[in-house]
Chain A
Amino acid sequence: MCEAARSILVVVGVLAGAIAIAAGLIWVERRLLALWQDRLGPNRVGPFGLLQVMADMIKIMTKEDWVPPFADRAVFVLAPAIIVVTALLSFAIIPFAPGIGVVDLNVGLLFFLAMSSLGVYSVAFAGWASGNKYSLLGGLRAAAQMLSYEVFMGLSLMGVVILAGSFNLRTIVEAQEDMWFCIPQFLGLVIFVIAGVAETHRLPFDLPEAETELVAGYHTEYSGMKFGMFFVGEYIGVTLISALVVTLFFGGWNGPVLPPIVWFLLKTSLFICLFILLRATFPRPRFDQLLGFGWKVMLPVSLANLLVTGAVTLARG
């Protein structure tokens, strides 16, 4: 009984935590971007503008829930739900600290990859169902981009799997007690971060929603809370990728003095800030350049990384 209550508590806590962090990130991102862009950002609602998110939420919730008459209604409504659901489900496998985590899957990493593959449907459906040419182009770009980057995202993680000898994220974290995998798997880390940015389609890889080209890409026709779902979905994605980077390469909850959960959250926040910094810095490559970079650079590098890691592990016995 106690065990069941505890799991329910953890599940609810993780769900609420992920959504709260994603919502809070909207404020963090706007303030940080403002800082780097010599502006102030939202600073009027509540202390430091913290309540801006609440104001935005109220606005977005009370907006008219409009579906364009030319859209494919059922798919149009379904699409934004998919991205939030798949991203949130992935949180199930993250080990936040010893004993804190939703499930302890022995195929955890594969589960994450499967969920992120399913996420593609969201943008592809949205682009298709909107009945708008810009959305269609955005949806096509998103599908091609996510499918391509999925490939070496998976490959880049195999080095970690070889070193830890398991797909289970908890085992992977425990295997990093002596040395974080960011050192032996530096290439894997770089590839995973790049692929992660592409998966969450944030700048510089925000081609599916490239504002200056495609207006807003696949979510051009979305408004109100449906748009809000895409928006929050993106931030959940950012949090998820940051949490995974920490889990897979930076020792997860490992760290001296402070309690494990604090270490985990600290490290994750750092990577979230990195995501935002990327957005403040880079221009956006062209679509064919992005795919070319993926297949011509990232794929060979991740394969080489896998080969070398395998060889070294074998040689050491």
Chain B
Amino acid sequence: MEEAPDIQTELENKFGTGLLSPQGTRDDISTFWVPKDRILETLRYLKRDIPGPFAMLYDLTAIDERLRNHRDGQPESDFSVVYHLLSFDRNQDVRLKVALKGDRPRLPSSVSVWPAANWYEREVYDMFGVTFDGHPNLRRILMPPTWKGHPLRKEHPARATEMGIFQLTEEKAVAEEAAARFRPEEWGMKPAVGDVDYMFLNMGPQHPSTHGVLRIMLALDGEQIVDAALDIGYHHRGAEKMAERQSWHTFIPYTDRIDYLGGVMNNLPYVLAVEKLAGIRAPDKAKVIRVMMAEFFRIASHLVFYGTFGQDLGALSPVFFTFNDRERVFDVVEAVTGGRMHPMWFRIGGVAQDLPNGWERLVKEFVDYFPPRLAEYDKLLMQSPILKARAKGVGSYTREDAVEWGVTGPGLRACGFEWDFRKKRPYSGYEQFQFDIPVGQNGDCYDRAVVRVEEMRQSLRIIEQCLKNMPEGPYMADHPLATPPLKKRTMHDIETLITHFLGVSWGPVIPPGEASYGIEATKGNNGYYLISDGNTGAYRARIRTPSFAHLQMIPYIGRGLLVPDLVALLGSIDYVLADVDR
């Protein structure tokens, strides 16, 4: 990160010393504990008044601290709520923590500062039972409304076998159905205004264009959307809870399934965060391989977007073409990793294997094959007057809106904001690659598509550079915590053998600490905030996904659109429900 003003001094100048208590973390993000009654004014100051404001609420989450052993120097706390803010002007992050005591703690809501805090606070309430006073609609978000308990609390069981046998009795089924019923007043919607009666349309969770199990409840005047409410959580699988019971190494396959179109792209922020905690530096070859495979998956994911976006707008054929091309990407992925959609191939300290013999030819073939196809799709889709009429000027938002709601990735760049984490905060050696950041101008559905199409071309450029400049050397770091550990010396001395045995059976013991790492994933910024308590697994793993933030914005942009526009909007956002619900 570039030289930034010292945030601590600035905050102390404003609020006086003694308010903040800084905490050291393994990443470079300044972290402060703020008293509960001062948090809102601190947030407000950081968002609005400080020079180079922290305009984006990057993440808001909580930690159940009750069983944590290594909390050296941190204020006493049962539950800590964490605000992660991002400043584009400074290219700097700041993390604020609030210590809360008691079993059912309360905290003032920050929705008045950031509208985007709405869903995040609901999630913290749902997962930890922390109540946010003044929240407009504090209800469960990921778990069903009938759920007992708060899953991410340490006392909540993680395995189904700990919970007794599940039976869906008649009464239970009826009660669940009743709980899922849409009641407009609960979402602040009115059934009628004046002499206009609205029609409420339940779109999803099973609908051809919600791209998965998403439920949108629409209040319609004719076909015009008056208001919308989103119900998510149908794809919730408790990835964050699973991280707490898996070892550092065995959690990697779960990350693949977060953004299930992103493949190894999902592994990257996780292994980077773990490497930061453990102090591992991946060797150059591993970095370049990671970049190459991640870019292949960016192409694969954008191809799915391209085809389904066309389909959402009624074009039947593109989806077949783009899925065909995606197969070619998978041919390469398959040869390199052995897997296709979920190769779970990155490792703590490197990658699983060296590249296979003859990989250059496969990659070269794809690099030659793909550009003419893209040119053809331009004619078929992007230049089609009907598609332009459907997508231009539809579902647009400004750069300010995007920052306010936590939009990252192509959705942000479509508003004309040249912000790509690969360029602004290079990781895994991206600073050594030449590529452009495509931007749009109007932030509408069409520009979002334009940005993604151009990104595929840029990804291809990066892959070509990987092909030409693949370094020699090891593909795994020579570090005791790299997993699976290198085996070459295990048969020579007993110490190495023991370390290897423990590293393989228990998995590595990562030193206590906290680190987060966000990367430019296929849909936007995907970040992992990991807390190690000096154990073989994460004490807490927070997964910050781009789609969560993007979906929250839909009611805001969707008002006034027609139903077909909403479909175009959903397609252009390019979310993955597993990425939303985790």
B410-444 contact mask (Cβ, 8 Å, vs A): 1 or 0: 00000000000000000000000000000000000
Q: Mark B366-388, 1 if CB is under 8 A from A, else 0.
A: 00000000000000110010110
Please encode chain A, from 58 to 100, with 1 for each CB lying within 8 Å of some chain B CB and 0 for all others: 0000000000000000000000000000000000000000000
Task: Give Cα A289–Cα B568 distance, bound, in whole angstroms.
Answer: 15
Q: Are B564 and A287 in contact, CB atoms less than 8 angstroms apart?
A: yes
Q: Is B341 an interface residue (CB 8 A)?
A: no
Q: Are A279 and B316 in contact (CB under 8 A)?
A: yes
| B38 interface hit (Cβ, 8 Å) | no
Closest to B313 in A: A283
Q: Can you identify 10 A-B contacts, CB atoms within 8 angstroms?
A: A38-B321, A203-B314, A210-B314, A212-B312, A213-B563, A214-B563, A283-B313, A283-B387, A283-B390, A284-B386
3 tightest Cβ-Cβ pairs between the two chains A and B? A284-B314, A283-B315, A37-B320
Q: Residue B165 at the A interface, CB < 8 A?
A: no
Q: Mark B545-570, 1 if CB is under 8 A from A, else 0.
A: 00000000000000000111101000
Complex formed: what's the CA distance from A214 to B203 in Å? Answer: 9
Contacting residues, chain A, for B387 (C-beta < 8 A): 283
User: 0/1 per residue, A118-141, Cβ < 8 Å to B?
Assistant: 000000000000000110010000
Query: In the complex where A285-B389, A288-B562 touch, is A280 in contact with B317 (Cβ < 8 A)?
Result: yes
CB contact under 8 A between A204 and B386, given known A279-B316, A283-B310, A283-B315: yes
A33 at the interface (CB under 8 A from B): yes
Residue A281 lies at the interface, judged by CB distance under 8 Å to chain B: yes
The answer on a CB contact under 8 Å between A212 and B314 is yes
Q: Which residues of the other chain, A, contact B321 by a CB distance below 8 angstroms?
A: 37-38
The verdict on B208 contacting chain A, using a C-beta distance below 8 Å, is yes
| Interface presence of B74 (CB below 8 A) | no
Q: Is B223 an interface residue when CB atoms closer than 8 A count as contact?
A: yes
Contact B563 A137 (CB under 8 A): yes
Q: Indicate if A270 sits at the interface (CB-CB under 8 A).
A: no
Q: Give me 5 other A-B pairs in contact (C-beta within 8 A), A282-B386, A285-B314 excluded.
A: A133-B201, A210-B564, A213-B209, A213-B567, A283-B310
* Interface residues of A, Cβ cutoff 8 Å to B: 33, 36-39, 133-134, 137, 203-204, 206, 210-215, 279-289
Structural contact, A37 and B316, CB atoms closer than 8 A? yes
Closest to A205 in B: B314
- Residues on A with beta carbons closer than 8 Å to the beta carbon of B312: 212
Cα A212 to Cα B563 with chains together (Å): 10
Instruction: Determine the residue in chain A with the shortest Cβ distance to B309.
Output: A283
Contact partner, A206, options B311, B314, B384, B565, Cβ 8 Å: B314
Q: Is the pair B564, A213 in contact by a Cβ cutoff of 8 Å? A: yes
Check: B324 CB closer than 8 A to any chain A CB: yes
Bound-complex Cα distance A141 to B3 (A):
59
Measured CB to CB, the closest approach of chain A to B90, in angstroms, equals 42
Contact flags (1/0) for B327-348 with A, using CB distance below 8 Å?
0000000000000000000000
Which B389-419 residues have C-beta < 8 A from chain A? 389-390
A215 to chain B minimum Cβ distance, whole angstroms, is: 6
Contacting residues, chain B, for A283 (C-beta < 8 A): 310, 313-315, 381, 384, 386-387, 390
Of chain A, the residue at the smallest CB distance from B394 is A286
**Which residues of chain B are near A37, meaning CB under 8 Å?**
316-317, 320-321
Which residues does chain B contribute within 8 Å of A286, judged by CB atoms? 389-390, 562, 564-565
- Judged by a CB distance under 8 angstroms, whether B199 is at the interface is yes
B202 to chain A, nearest CB (A): 8
Q: How far is the CB of A161 from chain B (nearest CB, A)?
A: 32
A134 and B220 CA atoms in complex are apart in Å by 12
Q: Which residues of B contact A134 (CB under 8 A)?
A: 201
Taking CB atoms, residues of chain B closer than 8 Å to A210 are 314, 564
What's the nearest-Cβ distance from chain A to residue B396, in Å?
A: 15
The answer, yes or no, to whether B207 is at the interface (CB within 8 Å) is yes
> How many angstroms from the CA of A101 to the CA of B529 in the assembled complex?
77
- The 8 Å CB contact of B384, one of A137, A282, A288, A289, is A282
* Known A137-B563, A283-B310, A287-B564; contact A215-B208, beta-carbon cutoff 8 A: yes
Contact call B324/A38, Cβ cutoff below 8 A: yes
The answer to whether A280 touches B567 (Cβ under 8 A) is: no
A212–B316 CB distance below 8 A: no
Q: Which residue of B lies closest to A214 (CB)?
A: B563
Neighbour of B208 across the interface among A137, A212, A287, CB < 8 A: A212
- Docked complex Cα distance between A286 and B216 (Å): 20
Whether A289 pairs with B562 at a CB distance below 8 angstroms is no
Chain B, 299-313, CB within 8 A of any chain A CB: 310-313
Q: In the assembled complex, how far is the CB of residue A135 from the closest CB belonging to chain B, in whole angstroms?
A: 12
List chain A residues, Cβ under 8 A from B317.
33, 36-37, 280-281
Chain A residue at minimal CB-CB distance from B218: A133
A137 to B209, CA, bound (A): 16
CB nearest neighbor in B for A282? B386
A residues in contact with B310, CB < 8 Å: 283
| Cα–Cα distance between A87 and B562 once the two chains are bound (Å) | 32
Given A284-B313, A285-B386, A287-B223, answer yes or no on A212-B209 (Cβ-Cβ < 8 Å): yes
When distances are taken between beta carbons in the complex, the residues of chain A under 8 Å from B199 are 133
| A-side contacts of B223, CB under 8 Å | 137, 287
Residue of chain B at shortest CB distance from A36: B317
Q: Which of B380, B381, B390 contacts A285 (CB 8 A)?
A: B390
- Whether A215 lies near B207 (C-beta < 8 A) is yes
CA distance A277 to B321 in the complex (A): 16
Q: A37-B320, A37-B321, A210-B564 are in contact. Are A284 and B315 (CB under 8 A)?
A: yes
Residues on A with C-beta less than 8 A from B389 are 285-286, 289
Select one of A39, A204, A282 contacting B320, CB under 8 A: A39
Q: Which residues of A contact B324 (CB under 8 A)?
A: 38
CB of B314 within 8 A of CB of A287, answer no
- Report the minimal beta-carbon distance from A14 to chain B, rounded to whole angstroms: 31
Chain B: minimal CB distance from A298 (Å): 15
Alpha-carbon separation in the docked complex, A44 to B316 (Å): 23
Nearest CB of B to A284, in Å: 2
A212 and B315 within 8 A (CB): no
Q: Mark B458-500, 1 if CB is under 8 A from A, else 0.
A: 0000000000000000000000000000000000000000000
With A204-B386, A212-B208, A213-B209 as contacts: A282 and B564 at CB distance below 8 Å: no
Q: Which residue of A has the minimal Cβ distance to B566?
A: A213
B313: chain A residues at CB < 8 Å are: 212, 283-284
Distance A282 CA – B567 CA, assembled complex (angstroms): 17
- Please give the distance in Å from B311's CB to the nearest CB on chain A: 6
A283 to B309, CA, bound (A): 10
Bound-state Cα–Cα, A39 to B316, Å: 13
Complex Cα gap A204–B389 (Å):
13
Which A residues touch B207, using CB under 8 A? 215
Query: Is B208 touching A211 in the complex (CB atoms < 8 A)?
Result: yes
**Contact residues, B243-277 vs A (CB, 8 A):** none
Q: Complex formed: what's the CA distance from A285 to B384 in Å?
A: 11
Task: Name the distance in Å between B284's Cβ and chain A's nearest Cβ.
Answer: 39
Contacts of A279 in B (CB 8 A): 316
| Residues of chain B with a CB closer than 8 A to A280's CB | 316-317
Bound-state CA distance A39–B199 (Å) is 41
CB-CB nearest in chain A for B201: A133
